Amino acid sequence: LIALSPRIARWFHPEVWMEDSAYIYHAFTLMSGQQPFIDSIYAHPPALDRFVAFINSIFGVSYRTAEILSSFVMIITTLCIYQLSRKETNKWIALAAAAAFSFSPLLFRYHVFEREVFTVMFASISFLIVQTKNSLEILLAVFTIEHIVFF
């Protein structure tokens, strides 16, 4: 409920940020066969845009599709933060940490499609793996792959 309620509330918030259109347009240009950095200006490496283009090819190009994708990633991250905190503290502190992330004004107010949450998701999954497996090599491998692929 902590992870889901802010996302549902955000779906009813009618505003989008000025960068949202550009990010969604980048995915659209990839769907249209244009090449990144050649046919269109990009501020980031296009791997995430390619993923969004794939999602858009299934569900259609819209703010709602991008927002649901971002929401899904935020929910996964909130659950990871809870698990990470739960292993190191108690249930109440873990719930407070998950709520602090999930109800963050930055996640609620700003972008419909938030690139940053993908990095936070990979980081939390990486730390969860390390916490479970106690392997620094796994953490470095996941971080390296994440930065090569997405950013």
pLDDT of 18 reads 61
For residues 66-93, give the mean pLDDT.
88
For residues 128-142, give the mean pLDDT.
70
pLDDT of 94 reads 92
SS3 string, the chain, reads CCCCHHHHHHHCCCCCCHHHHHHHHHHHHHHCCCCECCCECCCCCCHHHHHHHHHHHHHCCCHHHHHHHHHHHHHHHHHHHHHHHHHHCCHHHHHHHHHHHHCCHHHHHCCCCCCHHHHHHHHHHHHHHHHHHCCHHHHHHHHHHHHHHCC
pLDDT of 68 reads 83
C-alpha to C-alpha distance for 66 and 62, rounded to whole angstroms: 7
For residues 99-126, give the mean pLDDT.
78
pLDDT band at 110 (very low <50, low <70, confident <90, very high): low
